[in-house]
Every structure is written in C-alpha cells, then in structure tokens.
C-alpha cells in the first residue's frame, strides 16, 4: 500500500489513520498496517499517556506544533484517526518517506 493512499487531504490539513503499538522499545513509524500507519510508542496505554506521546511524536514528525495534531477518534483504541493541521498530503508523504528510509 502506498503512503498516498493512507494520508487523506482535508480542508484544514491531512487526516492520518494510525495503528498504535504502545509499550515498545522506541518511538518509530513501523510501516503500514491495514490502511493505517503503524506507530510504536514507548509510552504505556495508561491514562492517555500513549495519546499524548502519539500527538507529540506526530507533531515532531510533520514539523508542526503539538496543538496542530488533533485526535479525532480512537481515544481508547489502538486504531486512531488524527488530523494534522497545516500540512499537505505531499508534505506528509515526504516526512514519512524520510523516516521510513531510516528504518
């Protein structure tokens, strides 16, 4: 599956479906899983810590402020949808390709 098929343009930015693996050894984009980005996080899935870590990780990944990353759905699920405001699909793909090439 291509990254272009995962990221979806919206009026305010880009929609990012994510499958989270909390409690991992390191924070990383691990690839694609079922039409979503697979992201490993060191934070445990307790009291919103993994959601906060995910928001911070995606903000850093896409080069935006943390407030520009909004959790739309999946607060207590491993499958989540986030909006990254102020980012185009092309910019998102470039950021993800750069990270995936390192792994």
CB atoms within 10 A of CB 39: 26
Domain limits at 88?
Answer: 3-102
- What's the mean pLDDT in 86-95? 94
Q: How far apart are CA 10 and CA 59, in angstroms?
A: 17
First CA to last CA across the chain, in angstroms? 17
On the question of pLDDT at 99 being above 80, the answer is: yes
Residue 1 confidence (pLDDT): 52
Residue 39 confidence (pLDDT): 95
Q: What's the domain count of the chain?
A: 1
Phi, psi of 76 (to 5 degrees): -110, 10
CATH of the domain at 97: 3.30.1200.10
Average pLDDT value over all residues in the chain: 92
Residue 4 confidence (pLDDT): 83
């Amino acid at each position: 599956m291509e990254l272009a098929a995962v990221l979806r343009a919206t009026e305010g930015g880009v929609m990012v479906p994510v499958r989270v693996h909390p409690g991992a050894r390191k924070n990383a984009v691990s690839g694609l899983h079922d039409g979503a980005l697979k992201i490993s996080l060191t934070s445990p899935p307790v009291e919103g810590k993994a959601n906060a870590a995910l928001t911070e990780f995606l903000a850093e990944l896409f080069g935006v402020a943390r407030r520009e990353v909004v959790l739309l759905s999946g607060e207590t699920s491993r499958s989540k949808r986030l909006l990254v405001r102020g980012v185009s699909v092309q910019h998102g793909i470039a950021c993800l390709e750069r990270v995936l090439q390192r792994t």
